[in-house]
Amino acid sequence: AQKVTQTQTSISVMEKTTVTMDCVYETQDSSYFLFWYKQTASGEIVFLIRQDSYKKENATVGHYSLNFQKPKSSIGLIITATQIEDSAVYFCAMRNYNQGKLIFGQGTKLSIKP
């Protein structure tokens, strides 16, 4: 069975600092895809970044990067040089290679203080 767990309910950091959000997952499949999505205050959910399980390099997009630790079934999201507009709820999600469904974690609420 698939499961995604985000243990941090909320995080608050100062603007322009770096923040890491944790996520662990469970799957029986050897090939899978890990995603991070952001939900803004308006409710809109947007895709941020993806890690393919067979890739050793950590994915990076803009000021988002991932810390993929496959032996620990862990995929952390790192946001550098945080901005006020990064305040949102961040969801970790997983999709197995041969299954289409996307399973989400509970989400982490990030607040950026000026």
Partner 1 sequence: DAGVTQTPRHEVAEKGQTIILKCEPVSGHNDLFWYRQTKIQGLELLSYFRSKSLMEDGGAFKDRFKAEMLNSSFSTLKIQPTEPKDSAVYLCASSRTEISNERLFFGHGTKLSVL
Sign of CA dihedral 28, 102, 45, 10: negative
The verdict on 64 binding partner 1 (CB under 8 A) reads no
The verdict on 71 binding partner 1 (CB under 8 A) reads no
Burial class (CB in 10 A: 0-12, 13-18, 19+), 12: exposed
SS3 22: coil
The residue range among 20-28, 29-37, 57-65, 70-78 that interacts with partner 1, by the rule CB under 8 A, is 29-37
CB 107 → partner 1: shortest distance, Å? 6
SS3 70: helix
The verdict on 56 binding partner 1 (CB under 8 A) reads no
CB 86 → partner 1: shortest distance, Å? 19
Please tell me what DSSP assigns to residue 58: P
- DSSP H or E run through 76: strand 74-79
The verdict on 43 binding partner 1 (CB under 8 A) reads yes
Residues 73-112 that bind partner 1 (CB under 8 A): 91, 95, 97-98, 100-107
Nearest to 19 by CA among 110, 106, 113: 110
- Which of 7, 12, 52, 62 is in the footprint of partner 1 by CB under 8 A? 52
List of residues contacting partner 1 (CB under 8 A): 33, 35, 37, 43-47, 50, 52, 91, 95, 97-98, 100-107
